[in-house]
Structure 1
Amino acid sequence: MSQQVRGVVARAKGEPVAIETIVVPDPLPGEAVVKVQACGVCHTDLHYREGGISNDFPFLLGHEAAGIVESVGEGVEDLAPGDFVILNWRAVCGHCRACRRGRPWYCFATHNATQKMTLTDGTELSPALGIGAFAEKTLVAAGQCTKVDPQASPAAAGLLGCGVMAGLGAAINTGAVGRGDSVAVIGCGGVGSAAVVGARLAGAAKIIAVDIDDRKLETAQSMGATHIVNSRTADPVEAVRELTGGFGADVVIDAVGRPETYRQAFYARDLAGTVVLVGVPNPEMKVELPLLDVFGRGGALKSSWYGDCLPSRDFPLLIDLYLQGRLDLDAFVTETIGLDDVEEAFARMHKGEVLRSVVTF
């Protein structure tokens, strides 16, 4: 029997979100219903509200979540009611060309629940990133549930579902930061700060945080940055070079995703260094670089999709580090809020006042 719960819905582009009654169907084969315990307020949700991802309104927002499995559909064998899970938007298919080549973190055919959640009048909802977790309960594909140690705080654990994993993975997985490397991170919001933490976990010797906001730079420093650069008052390329013996950083992570920050990342890296783009640009943005510079500087220009993570591998490992006190996920939780406070949280996030507001149930 279907259930009715409260959820945050964006009905039209740019309009304030509203609390609506959501109809959650019973899970069919391969699906699961999850009782959401916590869900972070991510920039991606704001992009959905602003029509920056698609026009498939109305959207059921929220995706950075953790909770308890309530029920599963027929044929689901590795998940059971009562399991504590982090929701992920990369439900690996196991059959596409990336999976067959042993690179499931690039899975090109990730899947979502077959059924749609709806409004009470039958209007189908588009769940953000196939999850829709600004709701008391949500319907997902079973593969979108990653079991982790239930001792973890839901508010902290859920952040691995998107932003924190994206930043950590950009450094550890995509950038392959190694012991003794120099790393620069451009943009120190939630994702950039997580990239700083990832570089520290990987053993980087020098971690340079770059931003235009002194508050974010202070936060990045508290999370492991060894040097900070305010790019309002200093040329970030020259500053990074000066801090690295005139050479540039081994790995530069662009956590903003704008043409100007990408050019800064490109020229702030050492010869044969790596640029990682993890900030999400909009469709109109373009970047121009002299092709001779692309060739002559060598190295690698990479994009990081979801931190190139494999949830089944990375989430349990990172939760173990968290429970051991080696990864402070709690530091990313600026505030906990109620479901009715999401619109105000968007405004605080847009102003750079928070790393993460987290809805708790």
Structure 2
Amino acid sequence: MPANRSKSEKHDAAAKPVRRDPYEVLGVSKNCADQEIKSAYRRMALKYHPDKNANDPKAADMFKEVTFSYNILSDPDKRRQYDTAGFEAVESENQELELDLSSLGTVNTMFAALFSKLGVPIKTTVSATVLEEALNNLVTVLPLPMGQPISKKVEKQCAHFYSVRITEEEARSGFVCRVQSSDKSKFKLLYFDREENNGLSLALQEDSAKTGKVTSAGMYFLGFPVYRLDQTMNSVAASKDPDAAFFKKLDGFQPCEITELKAGDHVFAVYGDNFFRSANYTIEALCAAPYKEEKEYLRAVETQILTKRVEISKFETEYREVLAQFTEMTSRYAQEMQAIDELLKQRNEIHASYTSAPPMKRSRSKSREKTLLKRGS
């Protein structure tokens, strides 16, 4: 017969939200391809986006549910864990905080900016307005010549679109698109697929990250899997446990969805992701042909990182065990040190009692004397 649950346990069970199957939420089958998941998410995210459903709490809840489901199914590891053990396997870590700044009021934006300044990474979404204009082919696309950097300023929650033409030879050699900001502006680098109606749908995005004296983001299509590092993964959990910041550091190291681009025209965009101000940037498209050594070096380094991720996962178990022993030993060390100091203090008091002056009243209690005699025996 099952044991009766406490009131707190019943309250926790009642408070815990009921999750729907992510496949059901996105309307896809369990054996569907990654592209089907991506397409379903784009369609539903635009449908329920806060920009298009102001003051509609049901749409807001649906948008959160769709985003949460996509976060599970778009990550190969999370999807495999969910398929094997359900939500418990993927909810062991806190859910990532993801915000669409275009739909935030002034007060909420200020809170988001404060968290960012405190060092808590906040994953933001691209404005639905930008995505819908792109999908309806209502954006201006500027040419981006190969090997010729272009410097501009993009307003917050707006995007500049660029088209790059890649030849057959350049496609075989590999292609790189990089964006940098010398004043450390916050931005996203986006890549769009061309739809049948000539509209543009978001396929890839890279958030800018600080690298030295600049912020930068890049997409590398080199004909083999190139990995990206998502800095926001497990950031909340890591902030609660300093050691977790180290052990979770490589959890966000995941392969990019696209490894190469075919010859033809390809559209990229720079999205202003700052909270309050515009973003200054320089974008450049490069053929990877002159960078053969760099390509092989990148492949080798990323292989080492993957190996290191496995090693660190095993090392964490050993570290936690040793840390527990160390904590126990340091606690005993403090207790033993305190006991020794107390005994030496009592010894000094006894020595001081041997004097020609009239004996003073002893300050030690009987229980203290018994303790001293017991330890000395």
Q: Which has the higher strand share?
A: 1
TM-score (norm. length: structure 2):
0.22
Mark the structure with the bigger radius of gyration: 2
